[in-house]
Amino acid sequence: MKAMGLSFDLILTSPYVRARQTAEIVAEELHARKRLEIADELKPGGSMDELIERLGEAGGSPESVLIVGHEPYLSSLISMLVFGKTGASIVMKKAGLCKLSVEKLECRGCAALEWLLTPKVMGAVG
């Protein structure tokens, strides 16, 4: 992510250990520790609607948000934001990265998928 020049106004992570540890490593490397928040909505089975609501209420209206969580939740979230429903054939690999762009954050079909990178491709960038 550092080699790609990525930065984030907000980093949200599941409270589960592996996701939280990953988010902490990223926050440390990108000098963004103060922008890291635990989000119970990112637990497996968490509410996507509540996550979207939380993002909409985030202070300072973050423009760039990193979400660190679990499968199949993340693939379902991407599907819902891009296509308006869960179940699209989107597969997030462990340590994969996806970029969505959003004009106005709403819960269904509000995002465009810009890219989806596997860990292997990201390793080639760095």
User: Residue 60: its pLDDT value, please?
Assistant: 64
In whole angstroms, give the CA distance from residue 31 to residue 50: 28
* Domain with 38 in it: 10-125
Q: Is residue 120 part of a domain?
A: yes
For 51-76, write each residue's pLDDT tens digit.
989 988 876 678 899 999 999 999 99
10, HSE (Cβ side, Cα atoms, 13 Å)? 18
Residue 4 lies in a domain: no
pLDDT digits (tens, 9 = 90+) for 81-105: 999 998 888 888 888 999 999 988 8
Residues 6 or more apart whose Cβ sits within 8 Å of residue 117: 96, 97, 98, 125
pTM value is: 0.90
> Once rounded to an integer, what is the mean pLDDT over residues 10-35?
96
Q: How confident is the model at residue 3 (pLDDT cuts 50, 70, 90)?
A: confident
Domain count, the chain: 1
pLDDT at position 51: 94
Query: How far is it, in rounded angstroms, from Cα 44 to Cα 11?
Result: 18
Domain harbouring 73, CATH code: 3.40.50.1240
CA distance 69 to 84: 20
Show the tokens assigned to 92. 């997030």
